Amino acid sequence: AVPTAVMVSTGRGAAFGILIKGGEALQRMEKIDTVVLDKTGTITTGRPQVTDVLGIAQNEAGSDTADAAIRIAAALERASEHPLAEAIVRYAREHELSLSQPEEFESLPGLGVLGRVDGDSAMVGNAALMEKFGVSTDSLLSAAMRYAEEGKTPLWIAVNGKLAAMIAVADTIKPTSLAAIRQLHAEGLRVVMLTGDNERTAQAIARTVGVDEVIAGVLPAGKVEAIQRIQAERRLVAMVGDGVNDAPALAQSDVGLTMANGADIAMEAGDVTLMRNDLTGVATAIALSRNTMRVIR
């Protein structure tokens, strides 16, 4: 039978906006020593904005080259549901660029998108995508590193196999993230960031919020392996995420926590739903579990 203390604590959690699926999950949280946080949509709001655009021929032709590249990129991104894609499409609309219907489209999860627009072959995505197709990013690399150092995500646009532009996209850190991570540290927990974004951007955001360790540049399938590697060190892992990409890692972790406004599949994979859509409930949930188990013994 579920002890009364577990039922009482589950109810108390609910009052804090922490929905725990069953007493077993509450009991498992007691021994958690590592909290793994997804970046986009978990530490940050997940509603990125385009902040800077650099065309390859900026010096000669001004911003026209960049506009042409953005127009092609946004036409492709219209077919993607990624938050970065939405940011690029919004930017194009705000600049009143007309968007064609792509003739071909393919999405490469964790890398970007590619296809054909108005007869031109094009792709938009991260450095790994450019590398995969042999597109050199040298001419805009130092600018990209500067943006990444500010916590912005650099995205590359290539047209007909050549670099055309770079876009910097910034996501906002949730105002509660810093304090919530402090609270996790106060509970003696190790805090890890797990993201598909690039290392430099991830490190900049990690520094701002005080995360202990960063695992970046992870393809969606790699998130599960990352959790397994931590578990292989005999650590007990709570994973916090919001996206479709996070669902397998949430299922793999010892306790999975998800944002209420996240993807349905993530919520199904998790044991705890955070109704306030931020990290404030994580330390509270673990503390609640520890107190409950102490009462029972």
| First and final C-alpha spacing in the chain | 15
On whether the CB atoms of residues 275 and 21 are closer than 8 A, the answer is: no
Comparing CB distances to Mg ion, the nearer of 29 and 263 is 263
Amino acid sitting at position 90 = R
Contact 165, 177 (CB under 8 A): no
Please tell me whether residue 252 binds ligand ADP under the rule CB under 6 A: no
**Vertex 74: Cα angle to 73 and 79 (nearest 5):** 105
CB-nearer residue toward ligand ADP: 25 or 282: 282
* Residue from 38, 171, 242, 254 carrying the catalytic annotation: 38
242 contacts which partner out of ligand ADP, Mg ion, none, CB within 5 to 8 A by kind? Answer: Mg ion
Q: Which of residues 100-159 bind ligand ADP (CB under 6 A)?
A: 110-113, 124-126, 153, 155
> Is 38 annotated as catalytic?
yes
Separation of alpha carbons 114 and 87, rounded Å: 17
- Contact between 195 and ligand ADP by CB under 6 A: the answer reads yes
Strands (E) across the chain are located at: 18-20, 34-38, 49-55, 104-108, 112-117, 120-125, 153-159, 162-170, 190-194, 213-215, 237-241, 255-259, 272-274
How does DSSP classify residue 277?
Answer: S
Nearest residue to the partner ligand ADP, using Cβ: 196
| Residue number with CB closer to Mg ion (27 or 80) | 80
CB 197 within 8 A of CB 216: yes
Question: What character string, x for contact with Mg ion (CB under 5 A) and - otherwise, covers 20-49?
Answer: ------------------x-xx--------
Cα–Cα distance measured from residue 9 to residue 7, given in angstroms and rounded to the nearest whole number: 5
Residues binding Mg ion: number (CB under 5 A): 5
248 touches ligand ADP by CB under 6 A: no
Nearest distance from residue 108's CB to ligand ADP, in Å?
A: 8
Minimum distance from CB of 287 to ligand ADP (Å)? 27
Count of all residues that appear for the chain in the document: 297
Which residues are paired to 83 by β-bridges?
A: none
Minimal distance in Å, beta carbon 197 to ligand ADP? Answer: 4
Query: What's the order of all strands across the beta sheet hosting 237-241?
Result: 18-20, 272-274, 255-259, 237-241, 34-38, 190-194, 213-215
Tell me how far, at minimum, the Cβ of 35 lies from ligand ADP, in Å. Answer: 16
Q: Considering the rule CB under 5 A, would residue 243 count as an interface residue with Mg ion?
A: yes
What x-and-dash track marks residues 15-54 binding ligand ADP by CB under 6 A?
-----------------------xxx--------------
Contacts to ligand ADP by CB under 6 A: 38-40, 77, 80, 82, 84-85, 110-113, 124-126, 153, 155, 195-197, 220, 243, 245
- Residues designated catalytic: 38
